[in-house]
Every structure is written in C-alpha cells, then in structure tokens.
Amino acid sequence: MFDAFIQYLQFEKRCSEHTVTAYQTDLTQFQDYFEFKSISDLGDLTSLGLRSWVVHLIDSGLTNRTVNRKIATLRTLFRWMRKEGIVKANPMAKIHGPKNEKRLPVFAKESELDSNKLAEMYNNDFDGLRDELMVELFYQTGMRLNELMNLKEIDVNEQYIKVLGKRNKERLIPISSGLFLQIQEYISQKRKIVGESKFLIVLKNGNKLYPTFVYRKINAYLSQATSLDKKSPHVLRHTFATHMLNRGSGLETLKDLLGHANLAATQIYTHNSFAQLTAIYSQAHPRGH
C-alpha cells in the first residue's frame, strides 16, 4: 500500500525527489513503531493510538518542526487512503502537533560573499568553474537545491533563467549580464571536457548532480568564507532573500523570485531585515541616535 501512496506522490502530486524521500523515511519509522506495538492494519488505528506515536516522537528528542512534518506525512497518507476507500474515517483529523519554534533564517553577510574574496577559493579547472557557478546561482537567484540540479541549458538566456519549482510550477528569475557570461564560459568548458549534456550543472563524468555532492561542496566553501554554524545551499537562498530585502526589494517581488505560494512564507525574512531598518532609522531620523 505504501508503494501505491509513493506513486501517488510522484505522479499525481508531482512532489520533488527530496520530498518523496522524506515521506518514505517518515513512513518507514511510522511502520516500525506500530509493528513494535503489534498493529499490522492501519485501518485499526485510532486517534488515541496516533497520539501515543506523537508522544513517542517528542520523547525521542525530535524538534517540534520535525514532529509536525511527520504528522503532515500521516495526514496526507490517511487523506489518500480515505479517497481510495481503504479507510472510512481519518484518525488524523483530531491530531494536533506541538507548536513550532520560531526559527529565523540563517544568512551570510554581504562582505563574506564578496566576489573577489570568493574567487580565491576555487581551483583553476573545470571543477572550480562549476563550483563557482553553483555558488553564484544559489546566491544570485535564490533557487532551491532541487531546482539547481534540474536546470537545463535551454532554461538559460541572457535575461533570465527558467526554473521548475515545487509542483512543477515554472518561474522566471532575472540574471545579470555578468552571471550570463559566467554561464556561457562554463558551458563552453563543459562541452570540451564533458561533452553534450542537457543538464546545465553536471559532474566531471557528465552525470547529473546529486544532493550529497552539492551539500558537500557548498558546505566546504561557506566554511572558508563565513563563520556560520549552518552551511548549506538553503543558507544561500536565505542570504539571497535577506540581501534583497535589505537593499529595498518589496515582499511581493521577493515572493515571486523565491517561488513561494503565499506571502506568509516570505515574511519571515522581514525579521532579518529589522537590523537594517534600525541602522537606517538611526542615520535618517534627527533623533534616531
């Protein structure tokens, strides 16, 4: 049954590979717990039994955010089961998760991502050229990891990059002339060393990127350039958003660039920009000092 549910996520909901993997992990842990409790039929589960599972997750030391993600997985599963006629009622309807902790996005300072400073970190070969482009794409466009891995050469022109976001929603992200020239130089080198490839960013053997590789590369470069504890592709996405707001971007514009479904997801970056507003206030208001 879980296999059919995963196929539903892949082909009907069109979830990303990363999302599907997260669902699979959650379902495996959920199945292990209830097999331990000698419950084999999901139709026998009650709200009381599911509450015991939530308590088990919290007692295991998981963050509230992780617990809520696992609850969301179960909600989606039981909605699908009810739609398919596998169960008559949804026992998750009465389940409420713990309140999420308020967590502000982590971002790098503008000075830490100075282009001249970063240029010193890259090797003078194909790997260095590719790695530099990966960092710049994350920082200059705010795209997600999965979006970068699936970028194709035909998605790029001198004015914008076409990105395929969550649920196959397309968006156009403007790019600078400098970034476009950087992409063209990289493509030229890629064709000499790797050959033809429909994907824009690839491994040296021509294979498609995979998440662990990108995480490892970005972590290594951010470790050299910043003092951040968290160093991931998403940190560069947060950095893009924060720096845009700090330099005057409106929330609606930023929402479209990031591919958010609504403004609520974008508004979290206004907290990070408060320090910038305070600095401007101190300089601009006669009594701001």
DSSP 163-227: EE-GGG-EEEEE--HHHHHHHHHHHHHHHHHT---SBSSB-TTSPBP-HHHHHHHHHHHHHHH--
pLDDT digits (tens, 9 = 90+) for 101-160: 777 789 999 999 999 999 999 999 999 999 999 999 999 999 999 999 999 999 999 999
Question: Is 18 one of the annotated active-site residues of the chain?
Answer: no
Q: Is the pLDDT of residue 180 over 70?
A: yes
Euclidean distance between CA atoms 193 and 14, whole angstroms: 34
Which residue, chain included where needed, has tokens 């979830």?
A: 15
pLDDT of the residue at 123: 95
Question: Is 269 one of the annotated active-site residues of the chain?
Answer: yes
The catalytic position among 70, 231, 237, 243 is 237
CATH architecture, domain defined by 111-281: Orthogonal Bundle (1.10)
Question: Is 79 one of the annotated active-site residues of the chain?
Answer: no
The catalytic position among 51, 79, 162, 166 is 166
Nearest Cα to Cα of residue 225 among 111, 138, 125: 111
Euclidean distance between CA atoms 32 and 40, whole angstroms: 10
The catalytic position among 23, 186, 221, 269 is 269
The catalytic position among 69, 82, 109, 234 is 234
Phi then psi dihedrals of residue 89, to 5 deg:
-125, 160
* Residue 141 DSSP SS3: helix
What is the arithmetic mean of pLDDT over 234-255? 93
Task: Say whether pTM exceeds 0.85.
Answer: no
Per-domain residue ranges of the chain: 2-94, 111-281
The overall average pLDDT reported for the chain is 90
pLDDT of the residue at 99: 87
Planar angle of CA 145, 149, 151, nearest 5 degrees? 115
Question: Is 109 one of the annotated active-site residues of the chain?
Answer: no
Percent of the chain with pLDDT over 70: 93
Q: Is the pLDDT of residue 204 over 70?
A: yes
Question: Is 234 one of the annotated active-site residues of the chain?
Answer: yes
Fold observed for domain 2-94: DNA polymerase; domain 1 (1.10.150)
pLDDT of the residue at 100: 81
Question: Is 166 one of the annotated active-site residues of the chain?
Answer: yes
The catalytic position among 70, 130, 144, 190 is 144
Task: Report CA-CA distances (Å) from 129 to 61, 66, 124, 240.
Answer: 42, 36, 7, 21
Percent of the chain with pLDDT over 90: 66
Same fold, 2-94 and 111-281: no
Euclidean distance between CA atoms 209 and 219, whole angstroms: 15
